[in-house]
C-alpha cells in the first residue's frame, strides 16, 4: 500500500476557496491525496454558495467544515507534504510553521466573499473562482511528481516555493 500525499489548503476564513479545493482534490484524486483545509480566522460554517457550487459533483459534503490552521501545527497534527495558500493574506510568511516542514506554494484566487458585492455578482464570482480552482487542481494532480508515492522526509527537493506565477509547485521527488 502506498502512502498518500497530504495537502493542506489555506484561506483566511476557510469557508469558500480552501473548502472548494479540499473537496475537489478529495473527489478527483482521493486515492492519491489526503486533502485538508484551514485558515487563521475560520468562519462558523462553509459558505452556502460554496456548497451550491460543489453539490452537483461532490459525494461527501458532510466532512467539510471550517477549521483553524492551529489544528495542523501541533505535534499530534498530520504531517503535510504540501501546504497551498489560496489567499495572499495567508501566503508565505503569514502562515505558521507546520510540522514536517512541508513544501509551500501559492495559488492566489480572487475572494468571492469580498465586501461590497451584490448577491448576483457574488454568485458569478463564486462560479468563476470555482472553475479556476477546478483547472488548478486538475493540473496539479496530473503533475508527474505526484504520480508516485511521496518521498521520505529529506528526499524531496523543491525548485519553487511560494511561486504565484506557475500553475503548481515544481518538486523533484
Strand intervals (E) in 16-170: 33-38, 82-85, 103-106, 157-158
3-class secondary structure, 70: helix
Q: What is the rounded distance in angstroms from the CA atom of residue 74 to the CA atom of residue 16?
A: 24
164: CATH: 3.40.50.2300
What percent of the chain has pLDDT above 70? 83
- Beta bridge pairs of residue 83: 8, 104
Give yes or no for a contact between 137 and 35, defined as CB atoms under 8 angstroms apart: no
Query: What is the total count of domains within the chain?
Result: 1
pLDDT in tens, 63-95: 899 999 999 998 899 999 999 999 888 876 678
Q: What is the pLDDT of residues 80-138, one digit of tens each?
A: 999 999 988 887 667 888 998 899 999 999 999 999 999 999 999 999 999 999 999 99
The domain of 100 spans 5-172
pTM equals 0.83
φ/ψ of 111, rounded to 5, equals -85, 110
**pLDDT for 40-71, tens place per residue?**
999 999 999 999 999 877 777 888 999 999 99
What is the distance between the alpha carbons of residues 77 and 34, in angstroms, rounded to a whole number? 13
Amino acid at each position: 500500500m502506498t502512502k498518500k500525499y497530504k495537502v493542506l489548503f489555506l484561506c483566511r476564513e476557510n469557508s469558500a476557496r480552501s473548502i472548494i479545493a479540499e473537496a475537489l482534490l478529495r473527489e478527483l484524486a482521493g486515492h492519491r491525496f489526503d486533502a485538508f483545509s484551514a485558515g487563521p480566522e475560520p468562519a462558523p460554517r462553509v459558505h452556502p454558495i460554496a456548497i451550491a457550487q460543489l453539490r452537483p459533483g461532490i459525494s461527501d459534503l458532510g466532512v467539510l467544515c471550517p477549521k483553524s490552521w492551529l489544528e495542523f501545527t501541533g505535534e499530534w497534527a498530520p504531517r503535510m507534504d504540501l501546504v497551498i495558500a489560496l489567499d495572499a493574506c495567508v501566503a508565505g510568511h503569514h502562515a505558521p510553521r507546520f510540522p514536517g516542514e512541508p513544501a509551500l506554494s501559492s495559488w492566489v484566487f480572487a475572494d468571492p466573499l469580498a465586501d461590497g458585492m451584490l448577491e448576483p455578482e457574488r454568485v458569478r464570482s463564486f462560479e468563476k473562482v470555482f472553475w479556476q480552482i477546478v483547472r488548478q487542481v486538475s493540473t496539479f494532480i496530473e503533475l508527474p511528481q505526484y504520480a508516485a508515492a511521496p518521498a521520505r522526509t529529506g528526499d524531496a527537493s523543491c525548485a519553487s516555493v511560494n511561486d504565484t506565477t506557475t500553475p503548481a509547485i515544481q518538486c523533484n521527488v
